Homo-oligomer: A and B are copies of this chain.
Amino acid sequence: MVYSYKDILAELRREGYKITPQRRAIIQIMEATESHMTPLEIYSRTNSSSGISLVTIYRTLDTLEKAGLICQFNTQSGHTSYLLRRPRSHHHHLVCSVCGLVVNIGECGLEEVEERVSKDTGFKIVSHTLDMSGVCPECQKNNRQTLGRDFC
């Protein structure tokens, strides 16, 4: 499902949230980019023009998340937690460990794995995250070393 700017406003209204200039601005910024953004990144794109406070960014992101319109992503490599708008479909990320480039992967085909794990553990499996790490073509070309190490 694809959410447009209008869809998002409608959904917010439907859930009883008010449509403020700040929220409009934040949604438009997120609408304008395909990639993940930290609250601070959003802030830096909005700051000069409209004087929105960082607190409001945090609160709006929280609101949008509660409304199911965006979701969070925390990289395995650390404390940098990104936010992005809800993706068109289930997908995963492939990250270059040298330059940080993030590429989306569709089609994971993990249904059988989930089934097997469910049988083994008794868990009802609701979702999964799969992230791959490697070296992107560009970094391979430039022969830059990977920082990669086995994850736990």
The residues of A with any CB-CB pair to B shorter than 8 Å are: 68, 71-79, 81, 84, 86-87, 90-91, 94, 96-97, 103, 105, 108-110, 113-114, 117-118, 120-137, 140, 146, 148-152
Contact = CB atoms under 8 A, between A and B. Distances in A.
Given A74-B77, A123-B134, A127-B151, 12 more contacts: A73-B76, A105-B120, A121-B136, A121-B137, A122-B136, A123-B132, A123-B135, A123-B137, A125-B132, A125-B133, A127-B134, A128-B131
B127 A71 contact: no
A74 B71 contact: no
Contact of A130 (B72, B73, B123, B130): B130
Contacts of A149: 68, 71, 127
A148 B86 CA distance: 15
Nearest to A122: B137
Contacts of A137: 121-123
A96 B118 CA distance: 12
A101 to B, nearest CB: 9
